[in-house]
Amino acid sequence: MEKIKKNDLTTSNQPLSSIEMGRDDVNLICTYGKISIWFGRKVPDLVIGKILIAISNVDPATIHEYELVCDFEKITEYESFGFILVSYAKVEGGYRATFHIPFTSKKALLHLTELICNELRVKNLNLDLYWTGDDSDIIRLFDVLRKIDKWKIKSISYKEESQLQSFEKDID
């Protein structure tokens, strides 16, 4: 496979469709609106924290939607972590609660990191984040993350000309 350089990101005139980056124990795919992260069981806690902080610095509007079934009293505990309760409903075994974890809150990010680390003791983890990032944000995110040991770009997809033309026609 041909090695992709950082300059490949900034010299292309074509808009990005997605970029895949990471290392052996973590994989991150950025698109407009979503960041999907795969964490392998062996990824160090420090790397998890660095990734989440980097994302929050590039786009503080990023959120993660977290859902769990718990006792009603636990809902308040999660809110004290900085999680924002979106909905809850009585189900068998307790309450199904859905929270937004805002990346504007360092406290919430700390607790999200703890949740990720706990989950990784058992299995690999996929995490979806929702953000408002564009091409420049994706490049800024890579610039920060490339300081992590062995971090690299794995693939870049550009929007095809036909997609751009049809999108432009829809706007008219």
Whether residue 118 sits in one domain with residue 167: yes
Residue 75 lies in a domain: yes
Give the Å distances, CA to CA, from 167 to 15, 77, 132, 159, 164.
13, 45, 19, 11, 5
Q: Is residue 137 part of a domain?
A: yes
Is residue 149 one of the residues assigned to a domain? yes
Region 159-168: mean pLDDT is 51
pLDDT at 1: 35
Task: Tell me the per-residue pLDDT of 107-154, one tens digit each, with 9 for 90 and over.
Answer: 999 999 999 999 999 999 999 999 999 999 999 999 999 999 999 999
- Residue 10 belongs to a domain: no
- pLDDT for 81 beyond 50: yes
> 52 and 123: one domain?
yes
Q: Considering only CA atoms, which of 43, 68, 50, 20 is closest in space to residue 125?
A: 43
Structural domain contains residue 8: no
pLDDT-above-90 percentage for the chain: 79
Length of the chain: 172
- Give the model's confidence band at 36: pLDDT under 50 very low, under 70 low, under 90 confident, else very high: very high
The reply to whether 54 and 74 lie within a common domain is no
87-109, pLDDT tens digit by residue?
Answer: 999 999 999 999 999 999 999 99
pLDDT tens figures, 40-50: 999 999 999 99
- Which residue has tokens 């009585």? 90
Question: Would you say residue 2 lies in a domain?
Answer: no
Tracing tokens 């308040």 back to the chain, one arrives at: 76
| pLDDT of the residue at 159 | 81
Q: What is the largest CA-CA distance in the chain?
A: 55
Residue 12 lies in a domain: no
Tally of structural domains, the chain: 2
Q: What is the pLDDT of residue 27?
A: 98
- Alpha-carbon distances of 104 from 68, 119, 138, rounded to whole Å: 22, 23, 18
My answer on whether 109 and 90 are in the same domain is: no
| 88 and 124 co-located in one domain | no
102, 132, 157 - which closes a domain: 102
Q: What is the mean pLDDT of residues 56-67?
A: 97
| Co-location of 97 and 120 in the same domain | no
113 and 155 inside one domain: yes
57 lies in the same domain as 127: yes
Is position 130 within any domain?
yes
Full domain range(s) for residue 87? 63-102
| Tokens 């407009």 sit on residue | 32
Q: 109 and 58: one domain? A: yes
Using CA atoms, how far apart are residues 59 and 112, in angstroms rounded to an integer? 17
- Do 96 and 54 have their domain in common? no
pLDDT value, residue 8: 53
- pTM of the full structure: 0.85
Residue-level pLDDT at 131: 97
pLDDT at 17: 85
